[in-house]
Structure 1
Amino acid sequence: MEVEMGTVRQPAVAGTFYPADPRVLAPMILDFLDAARADVRPDAPAPKAIVAPHAGYVYSGSTAALAYARAERRRDEVSRVVLLGPCHRVYTRGLATPGARTFRTPLGDVPISAAADDLPGVERRPDVHRDEHSLEVHVPFLQTVLGDFELVPLAVGDAEPALTADVLEALWGGPETLIVVSTDLSHYLPYDDARETDAATIDQVLSLGVPIDHRRACGASPLNGLLEACRRRGLRPELLGACNSGDTAGDLRRVVGYASFEVAEPRHEEQEAARPAEEAS
């Protein structure tokens, strides 16, 4: 039975995964971004899509910031963010929207777009979104690095990569659209085992090796959809950085892995150079 959410998707993990007080949250995010901006090359293309972790900020915020420091370069052009994350608490088939009009965080409200509501494989499931953290933790970062934007929040459940890729293709858009995929990597392995496992998973992501196993990435469903979309479009992810909770604030005996990636589309001049001569004339 569907549980009604109302017009506002309220914060579920403010005060646990990240600070509930905006006076603490805002400077924390800026500190993460300040450290990450040092790695952004001036000539690097701005990403069309990013992949970032969704754990508590003390564990994965520094890794997530590597992706958001790149996305920040699109601040003046992005007006819509398609945000995909896995379901941790409620099972669903396909993809789910929250059935709300507004997504609220301690930093304010973001309007929710209805762009995905009528797409095949997408259902309205407020109960799936109500307590889900995999999407929520990204929104304060987005509010910090972008200007005004609409959010398309999609919880990805039991879905084949092709279905998720079809939804992404329908929402791909142009420069106005940024795609964000939320995933952590391995869970609760010893530190050295996790590093080895995560390195293999990262290699698989970089080579577009679909499907990624859910034991290697809790957000495998949305991630596999993005990788399938990249295969269709001839795009490849680039690794921005990786660590695990043992590197930040966790126990070395049982760690969770994190990585950030970006996917950039060719610049216009590169697209023109790749076109056949008869097309370019």
Structure 2
Amino acid sequence: LEDNRNPQPTKASVCAIRKVTFTLFDRESVLRNVCTGCDTTKSSSFFKKPSFKMPNSNRLATHAGSWYTDSGAELNRQLNGWLNDADLTFGPARAIIAPHAGYRYCGACGAWAYRQISPAVVKRVFILGPSHHVRLSRCALSAVQYCNTPLYNLKVDQQINQQLESTGHFKWMDQKTDEDEHSIEMHLPYVAKVMEDYKDQFTIVPVMVGSITNEWEETYGKIFAPYLADPQNLFVISSDFCHWGQRFRYTYYEEGSGPIYKWIETLDKMGMDLIETLKADSFSEYLRKYNNTICGRHPIGVLMQAVEELKRRGHRMSFKFLKYDQSNQCCDKKDSSVSYASGSLIFE
């Protein structure tokens, strides 16, 4: 569902806005096929407990060589460049929101979130990403021991997995489901790069977040809240923003809003402003009103619920978006684009 087929952004000066009728498709259909990215033709590939031992199992970097380079040297050069171009303005981050499309589209944007991380204090990285290929009504854990990247392999934290499993609210991904999903994998090289000076001193906790209800977002938020409160933990929330165009079955546009790409930006930034308030109900109401096709809406919701739980316990936090971009500037109803945003959560 990421916009890896679009041409380079079109200049606004050549845009010709045509008077067309834009429609908002059935909400549930849109959410199944875009927001969570779920291909409903595929059956679920989850199990309650690992039915096999995988002491030496590695999750392969299945999107290397296509969504990003499989050359460690080239990847290191690219990540260095993007991180050097980003500014450290809102850190040290306890959690970030960053995109998960092909690096040619969102690599530079994602760097603004990763630039806010202070790697010296991080011992564990939780990575929460949506499911794009299978139906999932809860959250699922990775059963592998390591996740491969072209830089180096990242160790999965089995102790934390056991703690989460003990709540009774988590399923397990089989390896194929794990390797098919890109929303978590696209963050692994960035995590590896930012943490390279401490690569033997941290672990990761990949979590696939399904198409869960607001009530389940609250439940998972309460589960993750104690981990978020620990300054040695970092949360990476994987999400792209508006998927606009007929191929995404979302062409909502308010007449008189100017060029389509400007309307998309307005729509996205309404949601981003609400995320910055850290009020989960306000963000949920925005999604109900506009049905914006934010594929990581549920991982974001879980983070916001965790923040609200910690606020009730007296913690003070702030969130700020630092970068916004689009894969393409839509000027016509036949165009399409995916939006990207990067932000940072800090404790005060």
> TM-score, length-normalised on structure 1?
0.85
Look up the match of 1:29. Answer: 79
Say if 2:63 is the partner of 1:13.
Answer: yes
Provide the C-alpha distance between the structure 2 equivalents of 1:203 and 1:240, rounded to a whole number of angstroms: 12
Say if 2:177 is the partner of 1:128.
Answer: yes
Relative distance call for 1:194 and 1:237 in structure 2 (3 A) is same
Look up the match of 1:264. Answer: 346
Provide the C-alpha distance between the structure 1 equivalents of 2:123 and 2:203, rounded to a whole number of angstroms: 6
Indicate if the aligned counterparts of 1:91 and 1:128 stay in contact, CA closer than 8 A: no
**Overall identity of the aligned pairs, in %:** 26
Aligned to 2:299, which of 206, 214, 222?
Answer: 222
Provide the C-alpha distance between the structure 2 equivalents of 1:226 and 1:130, rounded to a whole number of angstroms: 24
Indicate if the aligned counterparts of 2:100 and 2:240 stay in contact, CA closer than 8 A: yes
- Find the residue that maps to 1:89 and give its secondary structure: coil
- Find the residue that maps to 2:328 and give its secondary structure: helix
Q: Give the alignment's Cα RMSD to 1 decimal.
A: 2.2
**Most deviating of 183-192 and 93-102:** 183-192
Provide the C-alpha distance between the structure 2 equivalents of 1:9 and 1:192, rounded to a whole number of angstroms: 39
Aligned to 1:101, which of 134, 145, 169?
Answer: 145
Provide the C-alpha distance between the structure 2 equivalents of 1:232 and 1:122, rounded to a whole number of angstroms: 20
Look up the match of 1:273. Answer: none
Deviation at 1:120, TM superposition (A): 3.2
Asked which structure has the greater RCO (Cα within 8 Å, sep 6+), the reply is: 2
Alignment of 1:80-99 (within 5 A): 80-99=124-143
Q: Deviations over 1:70-94 (max 9, x none)?
A: 11xx211111001100000111121
Look up the match of 2:42. Answer: none
Say if 2:318 is the partner of 1:244.
Answer: no
Indicate if the aligned counterparts of 1:111 and 1:150 stay in contact, CA closer than 8 A: yes
Deviation at 1:2, TM superposition (A): 4.8
Look up the match of 2:161. Answer: 116
Q: Deviations over 1:118-139 (max 9, x none)?
A: 2331111124322110000111
Provide the C-alpha distance between the structure 2 equivalents of 1:203 and 1:113, rounded to a whole number of angstroms: 34
**Most deviating of 111-120 and 79-88:** 111-120
Aligned to 1:186, which of 242, 247, 270?
Answer: 242
Provide the C-alpha distance between the structure 2 equivalents of 1:242 and 1:2, rounded to a whole number of angstroms: 34
Indicate if the aligned counterparts of 2:225 and 2:307 stay in contact, CA closer than 8 A: no
Say if 2:96 is the partner of 1:50.
Answer: yes
Provide the C-alpha distance between the structure 1 equivalents of 2:177 and 2:297, rounded to a whole number of angstroms: 17
- Find the residue that maps to 1:14 and give its secondary structure: coil
- Find the residue that maps to 2:335 and give its secondary structure: coil
**Most deviating of 107-116 and 164-173:** 164-173
Q: Deviations over 1:90-125 (max 9, x none)?
A: 111211112111111111111101203323311111
Look up the match of 1:202. Answer: 272
> TM-score, length-normalised on structure 2?
0.69
Structure 1, gaps ≥5 residues long: 267-281
Structure 2, gaps ≥5 residues long: 1-44, 246-259, 312-316
